[in-house]
Amino acid sequence: MNGKVLITAYVHPSLAPALRAMQYEVVVNEKINRDELLATIGDYTGIIITTRLIIDKAVFDKAKQLKWLGRLGSGMEIVDTVCASQKNIQCFSSPEGNCDAVAEWCLGIRRSETGSMDQGSQSGNGAERKNSRHHWFWQYRPGICCFVGTIWRKGTGT
């Protein structure tokens, strides 16, 4: 057995079985609060967190067996990474997990901005297009900017 892992938030259903396959005992407590965390963190080798819990020096001081911390989402601002490195605790984050949602949001905003573009094309003389608040958009070709590394990995499976 590699130790115990605490999962403190909803995660993809495949995570717990994957951790069990790596010989971890998995404890899921999605409603754990800071006081409960401070009381039990000493029993765990790993912890999976989201933005709800702040992992600071007080937590790391009680986490005598902790070897790693996984942060679902982007940003490690809620983790005292300096203290973690002093205690030889590895910290991992998954910022690329948000990239699809951000891309969908950007495309949705772009589409809402240009939602009435086709009104001008439905008229016979195009006068409505010239008077449309979106007429400026017809001068440009919209493009999508992506983080190429993420797209490359998803496209090639590497």
Q: What is the pLDDT of residues 6-40, one digit of tens each?
A: 999 999 899 999 999 999 999 999 999 999 999 99
Element (H, E) at 17: helix 15-21
* Whether residues 88 and 122 fall in one domain: no
Higher pLDDT, 74 or 123: 74
Which pLDDT belongs to residue 148? 47
Which pLDDT belongs to residue 95? 75
**Rounded Cα gap, residues 50 and 74, in angstroms:** 9
Domain of residue 12, residue span: 3-93
Residue 69 belongs to domain with CATH number: 3.40.50.720
Which of these three, 51, 66, 93, is where a domain ends?
A: 93
Which pLDDT belongs to residue 34? 95
